[in-house]
Amino acid sequence: MAGQQSAKAVAGGYRYRGGRPPQSPDQQRNELSQQLLDKQSAIRFRSSRIRDLAANLNVLVAQALRDGAPVTALSRITRLSTGAVRRTGLAFDDMQPSGLPAAEHLRLISHLLHELTALEESRANVEEERRQLLAAASKQRLLDDFELASLTGLRPEHIRKITRGVTPRPRTVAACDAPLSSR
């Protein structure tokens, strides 16, 4: 009991309740540019990893076929048509049997598919965050369309299209055009 009271006494004290000072438009532009660059590099990294995992998936499917795994089981796990599974197997016609049982191949493929799905969801989340940043930048007119295009690698028309109708979420940093009375 005494230990709890002393912890409360230590936790109390002066707490600054003021807001963060407003940023200048240049600071906002720099911060937004950095955030967009960070999002773009995260999207590129995830896209590269997705391509790598998809290539590994193709190799695993082909190896499973070579080792005698049923096409229907592979089709059911990968959610691909049986024709697509067969074409994948034919693309790697020079593989040698590995000797793994079909159940082990199916387990490996299932694990890789879970990782691939999680990575695709992660990329979609980062793309949505980038979309919100683009909408905020367009609304606040911090950067023009061509600056946004150069930071994201997207065409200005595409940026306008994906941000059309998006209401940007409030940013974590206070905007400099907010009235002083609301701070």
- 101-115 per-position pLDDT tens digit: 999 999 999 999 999
Return d(Cα 19, Cα 26) in angstroms, integer: 19
Assigned token pair, 63: 């190896």
- Across the chain, what does the average pLDDT equal? 84
Residues 6 or more apart whose Cβ sits within 8 Å of residue 92? 58, 59, 62, 63, 66
Assigned token pair, 180: 């002083």
CB 53 within 8 A of CB 119: yes
Instruction: Count the Cβ atoms, other than its own, within 10 Å of residue 5.
Output: 9
pLDDT of residue 146: 87
Instruction: Count the Cβ atoms, other than its own, within 10 Å of residue 155.
Output: 12
Return d(Cα 155, Cα 159) in angstroms, integer: 6
pLDDT of residue 4: 55
pLDDT tens-digit series, residues 41-89:
999 999 999 999 999 999 999 999 999 999 999 999 999 999 999 999 9
> Would you give the distance in Å from CA 173 to the centre of its chain?
22
- 164-182 average pLDDT score: 54
Distances (CA, A) of 77 to 11, 16, 44, 89, 93: 54, 55, 27, 15, 22
pLDDT of residue 179: 42
Instruction: Count the Cβ atoms, other than its own, within 10 Å of residue 58.
Output: 16
pLDDT band at 15 (very low <50, low <70, confident <90, very high): confident
pTM over 0.95, yes/no: no
